[in-house]
Amino acid sequence: MTATELKQRLLTPGPTAVPAEVLAELAKPIIHHRTKEFQAIFAELSALLQKVFKTEGPVLSIAGSGTTAFEAAQVCLVKPNSKVITCAGGKFGERWQDVYDVYSKFLNIEQIKINFDWGKAAPVDQIKKALDENPDVSVITICHSDTSTATASDVKAIAALAQKTDALLLVDGITSVGAFECEMDNWGIDALVTGSQKAMMLPPGLGYVGLGKRALKRLDEIEHDIPAYNLDLRKWVASHAKNDVPFTPPVALIRGQKVACELILKDGLDAKIAETKKLAKASREAFVAMGLELISDSPSESVTGVYYPEGVVDGKFRAGLRDNHGIHIAGGQSGRGAKWKGKIFRISHMGYVDFADTLACFAAMEVELAAQGFAIEQGVGVTAFEAAYNA
């Protein structure tokens, strides 16, 4: 049986699996976006996104990826001739540093880079110290959950620090929004970003920017030239107020996201978050029972990362899962802070993934680990996962 004949289970941390109801919506005939019909759909989606983001502010739907949306927030919300605190303990925190490296020559930005070990949470004390010593900081960037390291940071504590200053907190919530606790308004997050292909249960193609009161005020007070056109959030805010977008949107994705949000909220967002947490906790306990080492000291609830045992080859292991079992997982990534490509693997718990998918994944992983000579008692991971999930 080939991989295409097997039932496919997508447990990568993006793209994630898409529910049948959403796929059916995506298959419907395209409508024109400059119509009342589209505006009605867009208005409904915007209201649903506010519930997922837990905010009363606008949540902008931008054609592109999470990177597109976060770059837009970075370039529009930073003050020229100011400092920014950029926190990086993984590939994606480093990406936001790289974005400001590009724009620094246009806006005269000085970065205060807080780099920390991969697999560790962002050091709140260092962020506080940097804020205390630099009153001219205009932006802080932080990953709530860095997908590359399967690690979560204490965004609630960092937001509390930012709220005492003029610095806006820009949060990469790409693998936290809709997956685990993330309270935009209650915590005081100024800009919160995610992408459609994660917990939002949609194919790639949309990035979302939630804007708080302080961020909207910053946009309204801009007097300098923003070195962006499509990514100028002022255009998106103005159109959003009219239930519209400034440029041609991916119409099918807008419709699909509305259906996906309805599914996410059907039993309540808290119930969805609780289920994701159960899958994550049970997975971590199962990996430990299998004799494997977790990569994170502060694990994310949306994705779990594990070091390969000695002798297990990354490409061969993941190909075996794919070709023999129809299971798709992710490998590692490398950046300035660590070189994890080929050394770790990651599985997702967010979005349209459930107990059966994850149980099948553990059964398949046991088989493929044993096939490469790793001494493992068959069924130990499956048993531990099931026991922890049902505890």
- Which residues define the annotated binding site for substrate? 346
Integer angstrom CA distances of residue 294 from 167, 273, 368: 34, 22, 18
* Selection from 307, 254, 287 nearest residue 358 by Cα: 287
Contact 75, 211 (CB under 8 A): no
36 token code pair: 């009342």
Distance CA 268, CA 18 (A): 19
Integer angstrom CA distances of residue 128 from 81, 94, 137, 164, 254: 21, 20, 12, 11, 39
Q: Strand pairing partners for 306?
A: 294, 345
Contact 158, 122 (CB under 8 A): yes
Please give the single-letter amino acid code of residue 44. E
Q: What is the three-class DSSP state of 22?
A: helix
Phi and psi torsions of 245, nearest 5°:
-130, 150
Please give the single-letter amino acid code of residue 179. A
Distance CA 119, CA 51 (A): 30
Q: Which residues are annotated as a binding site?
A: 346
Distance CA 212, CA 197 (A): 23
